[in-house]
Structure 1
Amino acid sequence: MAITPVFANEKQNAGNIKSQASNMWLDKKEKNDKVEKALKKFFDSNEFDWAEKAIEKMGAMGILNGIGNGYFKPKNNVTHAEAIAMVLKLTGYQKQAEAIKTQPAYFKGLSDPWSYGYLQLALEKGIIIPEEDGKFNPKAPAKRHEVAKYVVRALGMREDALDHMDEKLSFKDATSIPQSSVGYVYVMTELEIMKGTNSEFQPNKPITRAEVAVILDRAESITESEEPNKPSVTFEGTFVNYDEDDEELTLLVNNKTTVYDVNPYAPVYKDSKYYKISSLESGDKIKVILDSQRKIIFIEFINEATASTGQKLSMRNVEYKNLPEELQDIVDTQKLTQSYTAYKFDDSIYLIAARGKKLTGGYTINIDEVYKETIETNKYNLKVVVEIENPGDSATTQAITYPYDVVKLDYFNGIQKVRFINESDSVLAQTTLKSIEEVNIINGTIDYVDAADRKIKLLEKDGVVRTYLIPSNVVITLDNKTVRLSSLAKNMPAAITRVNGVITKLAAQSEVQIIETIQGKIDAIDTTDRNITLLEANNIKRTYHIPTNVAITINNKTSSISALDENMAVVLTRTNGIITKLAATNLVETINGKIDSVDSANDIVRLLGADNSFKAYTIPEDAQITLNNQAVSLSDLAKGMTAVITKTNGVITKLAVQRDLQTIEGILVTTFNSQNKTYISVKVGTVINAYEITSETSVIYNSESATIQSIPLNSIIVIKIENGEVIEVKNK
């Protein structure tokens, strides 16, 4: 029975996942008399406990897929093609590889269609190096030392491996490691990506799917970025809270609180067990994985919040009339919505808790206690205990109310965060201590206006649409004139002013157009979602959505997004934050050199470049090949010929070769033999040079075929040289 390989696309809809839930619940954790459970991706990922987390994590990232029906089969061997596909997926080349549909000439007749792009890209990226790896069957099981090569090369550390080829490895079976793999094994063990078993590396053992999962997991930690706003998929942060109804998780990263969509079935991996998201506590340090839609799909627990027993602080309630004017302005805005904030003003800390608009009386909120928690030396958190009560069965005042409370305490240095909790110790909000003078302006283009609910959506400079609630007391202007929110419209440039996180002003313009251009090279294309990723200056990658009404040109001719190709040079025009034009041009480069060798069976030409270095190039089947401007095949080319390779958008499209013909006239000085080779010395002017005469050299004396010894010395001769070799000698 054939098994679908690990790289194959395997889609499970939500219904399938939910139907399996009863059979896939994992380990349990008791908390508040509730049993917390989580759903794994694979039934059998726990077959090896040392690989379980890596299998589930790589599965969540889409690097590894199952073989079907929820099974992973950790014991199964991995082929060369599968291992290479996994490595390329890990390093972000899946789309580029799967866009290639042509079979690599180097593996002609040996590879399956699904692997064509991965193998071809591996050849181009130097993950497969024919000179080092030799010919192999990509469908054969890969050995541990071979996978070490693929991973090291993918990480860009081949030079480190080559520098340690003579390293004395400490494994008992070090002598079994092929000499060409010693440096690669050294790098992998130094990075702790691969380890031995019982002091043995077992280099020639076929590698299993479980082993590859662990290797990829360790390698991924080297390449990951901790910046969540970059297009990376993993980063660390501090858990704040989880909104189960809206399926949103709030994280604190670099002192900035961000809300992420989360898959409700995303497992939390902790202490070799799996739990539901609701098992997390505020302050827990976690690592998350995002999918292509920036939704959290996997969570790895790192450690718990490390606060010591809190010290209760002295505080006092402050009535509105006794607040500084700056705080009164903040309370006026903040009390309109449910909110929890902390401010430093002069030498005091002000804590504000508000419940928002209520249609009757009887709703209360009070800050009861404040604790100082020591995290480490000179670093503290504030824990603010809030009491909230709702109206009971008794009669209540039928009037709109805005319950809130403000307390004041002495300021001290080192405050890291402020956590508001209720009497049940559940987190209400987590924030930082703000300065009264903290003002920031958010620029963008209006995407949507909801005047009834006083909300606007703003398309900001980073391409993300964010929603803002505009309080009723906010000053709204259009072209510097005060207007209602309903006067604003889509595509208007707008600027929101926030003071200490509270919106105080919304200024829009009706006719001004802000035009900017973005230049780069196409790194990836998603024609389905109409997204392109550009490699911009300083090697920064950014993804842009191309609306359907955008004018697209290629080489100044009207085109479509499906006609774009990777490596094309692109200029995006953005008007008021919206992309309105995409102009692409083919990126053409040429490579000059002399042919050193031709492998026509595998469509490979090796050139000697101007810097005296050798490099092999795979010539695609559809590339144009010419010799002296005449169409020829690769087998017509020979060593010594001058060659120019043309690449269009990174793909070889033409190989133009010239035969190097040279005629020399001079006086035959002498003939001689050296190391079983025959040479002639020829004087041209005052310079005497030696030329090798081979069995292929045509010698003509007095218009008849002869030997070189037949030509008398001091005769005037004519020598023809082609591609550095003497092809004819005749007397004049």
Structure 2
Amino acid sequence: MSGRKIKKVSIVFFAIILLTAFGLTQAMAASFTDITAAKYDWARPYIEKMNLLGVVKGMTETTYGPDNSVTREQLITMLVRLMGWESQATGKSLPSTFPKANSVAPWARGYVALAVEKGIVSGEDLENFRPADAATRSEVAVFAVKAIGLGQEAESRKTFNASLSFTDGYLIELKARPYIEIAVEKGIMKGFPDGSFKPNEKVTRAQIATVLHNVTKLAKANSNMVKGIVKNVDSTLLPSIDAKLDDGSSKTYIVNTYSTLIYKEDADGNLTSAQLKDIKPGDTVNIIASGNTAQYVEIAYGKQATVVEDENEDKDKDKDKDKLIKGIIRGVNISANVLTIENKDNDKYESYNIASDAKIRRDGTTSDIYKLMIGDTATVTVTDGKIVRIEAETATKEITGVITDITFAAKNPTITIEGENGRENDYELGKNVTIRKNNRSADISDLKIGDEVKLTLEYGVGTRVVATSTKQDISGTVKAVTLADINTITVVDDKGREHVIKITRDTEITKDRKQIDVTDIRPNYYVDIEAENDEAISIDVTVRNVKETIRGTVVNINEQVKVIVINIKNDDGTKSTQHVYYTSDTILYKENREVRISRIAEGDEVICIGGYEGGLFFADTIHDITISD
């Protein structure tokens, strides 16, 4: 044994003695008694992570309060801590122009003051901050997007161009739409399984930990967490991870198998419990540590890389390190247990014996040598000259989903597809890609956002696209016409649902069988629209008896005289009262079902569509749009 190895072993045993004697491996995440396994396992990883980062703290020493609402001042405080700005907030005072400064809790004033300075709290939020109010999902999206520096991008987006497809999109305030759009695009937040967003729902302390975790994926924020690529894992003598960090340095982190928190990200971005044995060389990891001891390790999904050793490091280590080779399988000799791979780093064919206990996976599932195919792309791990692990994927794949973006910034066009799991991925199209749309030959310019698509990939590059446009017929009353770089028309259909449709230069617009221009369309016109995705193919305009739309909150119902009294919020911010009369012919809807007047109650929010007769408003239809718990 060389002197170098003797020294290494001595250091290892000395470290073990220290760990045993002084308990240095104990993770510092608080053990909150109210984060019970049955109810909160989904939130535990995110709460533990944010607690270790110092972003969230308990309501007491032992409780977290997962169901408590997050107040607006608490939300701002968490975001400032997450971004690593806590030291800047220390001792900072609210500006003299801040309204009702004393309403902000003393502990939060420095954080809120810094948020004002950073532009996170601005506009109406600054004029009426409401620090103790519970933060809504819409407000969380706005503040989070501003915190990561995308506020100007949100403001630059046209309000009506926000591609929000939530079933309750009409409840989202226009000014918040581009922020929610960006929050969804970036994976900070997402909708509910029923297709809604619930913008006005209060956010709980359990939920906010998940949102904050998603923000850490986008911004170089809290310095208490480091990112790196795993070079080696020791799970025997001294459990530890040897990682190459983003700053180029290398560091070994000790892992306590009893107290170090280890989680692994799945394909949907969720964190699940893992163990040291699940960490592999080439994995990208996020680590929260106390000194040299890892308190928290997070394994990123699908982000393996080859670690290149520094030239100054001991070359003898290469004999003990795993070697990762990425390329294309060019030969499989089953009788000799030999695999030949074309190494993409040097374009050479390299052959290796496959170890008898090698772990083989193909297309994400456990496989064996008999199922490996020439042409498969693969990442193989070689130790002591033998392959110990093979991760193979079929060379040809089919991706299905909906097109959410098309860009031409790179050499070849790139399309973004949202899959069934809600995740978006970018795919490069090859130079000779074949495109068909609606059973006809097509060009890249014929593809539209919203098209349903099946993409064939060969070695990661798109070679064939089969697209189908989503067509819809919409009839309703024009609410607004927006003339800008992209013209749009906002229509309220006969069930009270709002649609924003783009008008292109190819849109055919007719009125009384005569062709007209978009500038000739007026609010309250009735239109029949044939649309492809969110673009109008044709619009037929009919000037009917003008229909008025009134929206407000029910304050009284008098069934004897058949009148509903509602409170309306006017454009200038004031409120007024409106009497809405209904008859036996009036149709009432609740949750898109026809109901009786007895199903509508005081406090419900309604949309009434009808017209004035003799100074009285009579409703043709009344839609109860109250969101049920």
Q: Same fold by TM (over 0.5)?
A: no
Structure index of larger Rg: 1
Bin for the TM-score computed over the shorter chain: 0.3 to 0.5
User: What is the TM-score of this pair, normalised by structure 1?
Assistant: 0.36
User: What is the TM-score of this pair, normalised by structure 2?
Assistant: 0.41
